[in-house]
A and B are shown apart, each in its own frame.
Chain A
Amino acid sequence: DIQMTQSPSSLSASVGDRVTITCQASQDISNYLNWYQQKPGKAPKLLIYDASNLETGVPSRFSGSGSGTDFTFTISSLQPEDIATYYCQQYDNLPRLLTFGGGTKVEIK
Protein backbone atom coordinates (compact mmCIF):
# COMPACT_ATOMS: atom_id res chain seq x y z
CA ASP A 1 0.00 0.00 0.00
CA ILE A 2 1.15 3.54 -0.73
CA GLN A 3 1.67 5.72 2.33
CA MET A 4 1.38 9.51 2.31
CA THR A 5 3.49 11.58 4.69
CA GLN A 6 2.12 15.08 5.06
CA SER A 7 3.99 17.85 6.88
CA PRO A 8 3.80 19.83 8.97
CA SER A 9 0.88 18.53 11.01
CA SER A 10 0.09 22.09 12.04
CA LEU A 11 1.35 25.59 11.38
CA SER A 12 0.66 29.13 12.49
CA ALA A 13 1.17 32.05 10.11
CA SER A 14 0.21 35.68 9.76
CA VAL A 15 -2.32 37.09 7.32
CA GLY A 16 -0.52 37.70 4.05
CA ASP A 17 2.15 35.07 4.66
CA ARG A 18 3.08 32.41 2.13
CA VAL A 19 2.17 28.97 3.46
CA THR A 20 3.62 25.70 2.16
CA ILE A 21 2.54 22.16 2.92
CA THR A 22 4.28 19.06 1.59
CA CYS A 23 3.14 15.53 0.90
CA GLN A 24 5.49 12.66 0.19
CA ALA A 25 4.37 9.37 -1.30
CA SER A 26 6.09 6.09 -0.44
CA GLN A 27 6.37 5.31 -4.16
CA ASP A 28 5.95 7.03 -7.51
CA ILE A 29 2.33 8.14 -8.00
CA SER A 30 2.91 10.28 -11.10
CA ASN A 31 0.59 13.28 -10.70
CA TYR A 32 -2.24 11.34 -9.02
CA LEU A 33 -2.53 13.70 -6.08
CA ASN A 34 -5.38 15.95 -4.93
CA TRP A 35 -5.65 18.58 -2.21
CA TYR A 36 -8.70 19.29 -0.06
CA GLN A 37 -9.63 21.95 2.49
CA GLN A 38 -11.77 21.06 5.50
CA LYS A 39 -13.20 23.69 7.81
CA PRO A 40 -14.44 22.67 11.28
CA GLY A 41 -17.73 20.79 11.18
CA LYS A 42 -17.80 20.80 7.38
CA ALA A 43 -17.16 18.31 4.61
CA PRO A 44 -13.87 18.53 2.73
CA LYS A 45 -13.73 20.73 -0.36
CA LEU A 46 -11.61 20.03 -3.43
CA LEU A 47 -9.00 22.70 -4.17
CA ILE A 48 -6.38 21.11 -6.45
CA TYR A 49 -6.60 17.99 -8.62
CA ASP A 50 -3.99 16.03 -10.53
CA ALA A 51 -1.25 17.73 -8.50
CA SER A 52 -1.47 21.20 -10.02
CA ASN A 53 -4.90 21.89 -11.51
CA LEU A 54 -7.03 24.48 -9.72
CA GLU A 55 -10.65 23.44 -9.26
CA THR A 56 -13.13 25.85 -10.81
CA GLY A 57 -14.08 28.67 -8.47
CA VAL A 58 -11.11 28.21 -6.12
CA PRO A 59 -9.08 31.40 -5.52
CA SER A 60 -5.81 31.63 -7.41
CA ARG A 61 -3.80 32.10 -4.19
CA PHE A 62 -4.02 28.31 -3.86
CA SER A 63 -1.63 26.25 -5.97
CA GLY A 64 -0.09 22.80 -6.15
CA SER A 65 3.03 21.34 -7.71
CA GLY A 66 5.11 18.21 -7.86
CA SER A 67 5.11 14.76 -9.39
CA GLY A 68 6.45 11.32 -8.60
CA THR A 69 6.84 11.19 -4.83
CA ASP A 70 7.10 14.82 -3.72
CA PHE A 71 4.28 17.33 -3.79
CA THR A 72 3.76 20.87 -2.51
CA PHE A 73 0.62 22.85 -1.74
CA THR A 74 0.96 26.63 -1.41
CA ILE A 75 -1.22 29.47 -0.22
CA SER A 76 0.51 32.53 -1.67
CA SER A 77 -1.06 35.04 0.72
CA LEU A 78 -2.85 33.59 3.73
CA GLN A 79 -6.33 35.00 4.38
CA PRO A 80 -8.45 34.69 7.55
CA GLU A 81 -10.95 32.48 5.70
CA ASP A 82 -8.18 29.98 4.90
CA ILE A 83 -8.16 28.71 8.48
CA ALA A 84 -8.79 25.01 8.00
CA THR A 85 -7.18 21.61 7.84
CA TYR A 86 -5.70 20.64 4.49
CA TYR A 87 -5.36 17.07 3.23
CA CYS A 88 -3.52 15.54 0.34
CA GLN A 89 -5.04 12.44 -1.25
CA GLN A 90 -3.43 10.03 -3.67
CA TYR A 91 -4.76 7.14 -5.70
CA ASP A 92 -3.03 4.03 -6.98
CA ASN A 93 -3.80 2.60 -10.34
CA LEU A 94 -4.89 -0.95 -10.99
CA PRO A 95 -6.45 -1.37 -8.55
CA ARG A 96 -7.27 2.22 -7.82
CA LEU A 97 -7.00 2.63 -4.06
CA LEU A 98 -7.17 5.99 -2.30
CA THR A 99 -5.09 7.27 0.63
CA PHE A 100 -5.26 10.56 2.51
CA GLY A 101 -2.34 12.29 4.15
CA GLY A 102 -2.56 12.98 7.85
CA GLY A 103 -3.66 16.59 7.42
CA THR A 104 -2.19 20.01 8.18
CA LYS A 105 -4.05 22.37 10.49
CA VAL A 106 -3.47 25.99 9.48
CA GLU A 107 -4.01 28.71 12.07
CA ILE A 108 -3.57 32.47 12.14
CA LYS A 109 -0.74 33.81 14.27
Chain B
Amino acid sequence: QVQLQESGPGLVKPSETLSLTCTVSGGSISSYYWSWIRQPPGKGLEWIGYIYYSGSTNYNPSLKSRVTISVDTSKNQFSLKLSSVTAADTAVYYCAREYSGYDSSATRGDYYYYYMDVWGKGTTVTVSS
Protein backbone atom coordinates (compact mmCIF):
# COMPACT_ATOMS: atom_id res chain seq x y z
CA GLN B 1 0.00 0.00 0.00
CA VAL B 2 0.99 3.63 -0.36
CA GLN B 3 3.46 4.90 2.24
CA LEU B 4 4.81 8.38 2.85
CA GLN B 5 8.14 9.27 4.42
CA GLU B 6 9.22 12.74 5.47
CA SER B 7 12.91 13.63 5.41
CA GLY B 8 15.02 16.68 6.10
CA PRO B 9 17.07 18.44 8.77
CA GLY B 10 15.81 18.12 12.32
CA LEU B 11 17.39 21.40 13.38
CA VAL B 12 17.11 24.74 11.58
CA LYS B 13 18.51 28.10 12.68
CA PRO B 14 16.24 31.11 13.15
CA SER B 15 15.75 33.22 10.00
CA GLU B 16 16.83 30.33 7.77
CA THR B 17 14.69 28.18 5.46
CA LEU B 18 13.17 24.89 6.57
CA SER B 19 13.24 22.29 3.79
CA LEU B 20 11.47 18.93 3.91
CA THR B 21 10.76 16.23 1.34
CA CYS B 22 8.02 13.62 1.32
CA THR B 23 8.73 10.45 -0.65
CA VAL B 24 5.75 8.46 -1.91
CA SER B 25 6.26 4.71 -2.19
CA GLY B 26 3.93 1.89 -3.19
CA GLY B 27 1.92 4.08 -5.53
CA SER B 28 2.02 7.00 -7.94
CA ILE B 29 2.01 10.65 -7.01
CA SER B 30 -0.27 11.30 -9.97
CA SER B 31 -3.96 12.13 -9.67
CA TYR B 32 -3.83 13.17 -6.02
CA TYR B 33 -3.43 16.24 -3.86
CA TRP B 34 -0.50 16.21 -1.42
CA SER B 35 -0.53 18.19 1.80
CA TRP B 36 1.80 19.35 4.53
CA ILE B 37 0.45 19.64 8.09
CA ARG B 38 2.32 20.55 11.25
CA GLN B 39 1.79 20.18 14.98
CA PRO B 40 3.70 22.30 17.52
CA PRO B 41 4.60 20.51 20.75
CA GLY B 42 1.48 19.88 22.82
CA LYS B 43 -0.77 21.70 20.37
CA GLY B 44 -3.22 20.94 17.60
CA LEU B 45 -2.89 20.34 13.88
CA GLU B 46 -2.27 23.16 11.40
CA TRP B 47 -2.64 22.73 7.66
CA ILE B 48 0.26 24.34 5.78
CA GLY B 49 -0.72 23.81 2.16
CA TYR B 50 -1.19 21.34 -0.65
CA ILE B 51 -0.04 20.69 -4.17
CA TYR B 52 -1.80 18.82 -6.95
CA TYR B 53 0.41 16.43 -8.91
CA SER B 54 0.15 18.81 -11.86
CA GLY B 55 1.74 21.56 -9.77
CA SER B 56 -1.15 23.79 -8.68
CA THR B 57 -0.97 24.86 -5.06
CA ASN B 58 -2.98 26.38 -2.22
CA TYR B 59 -1.51 27.61 1.05
CA ASN B 60 -2.74 28.51 4.51
CA PRO B 61 -3.22 32.30 4.35
CA SER B 62 -1.38 32.72 7.65
CA LEU B 63 1.77 31.11 6.18
CA LYS B 64 1.39 31.95 2.52
CA SER B 65 4.12 34.59 2.36
CA ARG B 66 6.73 32.10 3.63
CA VAL B 67 5.65 28.78 2.09
CA THR B 68 6.53 27.06 -1.16
CA ILE B 69 5.40 23.53 -1.99
CA SER B 70 6.73 21.81 -5.09
CA VAL B 71 6.42 18.39 -6.72
CA ASP B 72 8.83 16.14 -8.60
CA THR B 73 6.76 13.47 -10.31
CA SER B 74 9.85 11.75 -11.72
CA LYS B 75 11.03 11.04 -8.17
CA ASN B 76 7.54 10.54 -6.68
CA GLN B 77 8.32 13.29 -4.19
CA PHE B 78 6.93 16.60 -3.06
CA SER B 79 8.66 19.19 -0.94
CA LEU B 80 8.08 21.99 1.54
CA LYS B 81 10.09 25.15 1.99
CA LEU B 82 9.29 27.52 4.84
CA SER B 83 11.39 30.65 4.95
CA SER B 84 12.40 33.02 7.75
CA VAL B 85 11.66 30.47 10.47
CA THR B 86 11.36 31.32 14.14
CA ALA B 87 10.93 29.22 17.28
CA ALA B 88 7.17 29.26 16.60
CA ASP B 89 7.82 27.01 13.59
CA THR B 90 9.14 24.24 15.83
CA ALA B 91 6.78 21.32 15.25
CA VAL B 92 6.25 17.81 13.99
CA TYR B 93 5.72 18.10 10.25
CA TYR B 94 3.51 15.57 8.49
CA CYS B 95 2.95 14.94 4.81
CA ALA B 96 -0.34 13.41 3.71
CA ARG B 97 -2.17 12.25 0.60
CA GLU B 98 -5.51 13.84 -0.05
CA TYR B 99 -8.04 11.68 -1.83
CA SER B 100 -10.79 13.30 -3.89
CA GLY B 101 -14.05 11.61 -4.71
CA TYR B 102 -17.13 12.59 -6.69
CA ASP B 103 -20.76 12.03 -5.88
CA SER B 104 -24.21 13.34 -6.66
CA SER B 105 -27.32 13.74 -4.57
CA ALA B 106 -30.72 15.37 -4.86
CA THR B 107 -29.92 17.84 -2.08
CA ARG B 108 -26.30 18.64 -2.94
CA GLY B 109 -26.23 18.19 -6.68
CA ASP B 110 -22.85 17.15 -8.08
CA TYR B 111 -19.96 17.58 -5.70
CA TYR B 112 -16.40 16.58 -4.95
CA TYR B 113 -15.27 15.59 -1.48
CA TYR B 114 -11.75 15.37 -0.08
CA TYR B 115 -10.00 13.70 2.83
CA MET B 116 -6.47 12.86 3.93
CA ASP B 117 -6.29 9.09 3.94
CA VAL B 118 -2.56 8.35 4.02
CA TRP B 119 -0.12 10.09 6.35
CA GLY B 120 3.59 9.96 6.94
CA LYS B 121 4.87 9.23 10.43
CA GLY B 122 6.00 12.81 10.87
CA THR B 123 9.37 14.44 11.38
CA THR B 124 10.33 16.78 14.19
CA VAL B 125 11.87 20.09 13.23
CA THR B 126 13.34 22.32 15.91
CA VAL B 127 14.20 25.94 15.22
CA SER B 128 17.06 26.99 17.43
CA SER B 129 20.46 28.62 17.18
Contact = CB atoms under 8 A, between A and B. Distances in A.
Interface residues of A, number: 27
Contacts of B120: 43
B35 interface: yes
Contacts of A89: 45, 47, 116
Interface of chain B, main secondary structure: strand
Looking at chain B, what size class is its interface with the partner chain? Answer: 20 to 34
Contacts of B45: 36, 38, 44, 87, 89, 100, 103
A62 interface: no
Contact of B46 (A45, A95, A100): A100
B122 A43 contact: yes
Interface in B5-38: 35, 37
A1 to B, nearest CB: 6
B47 A50 contact: no
B66 to A, nearest CB: 16
A1 B61 CA distance: 9
Nearest to A35: B115
A91 B113 CA distance: 9
Interface in B83-126: 94, 96, 101, 103, 108, 111, 113-117, 119-122
B119 A49 contact: no
Interface of B: 35, 37, 44-47, 50, 58, 60-61, 94, 96, 101, 103, 108, 111, 113-117, 119-122
18 contacts: A30-B108, A34-B115, A36-B116, A42-B121, A43-B121, A44-B45, A46-B116, A50-B103, A55-B117, A89-B116, A96-B114, A98-B50, A98-B60, A100-B44, A100-B46, A100-B47, A101-B44, A103-B45
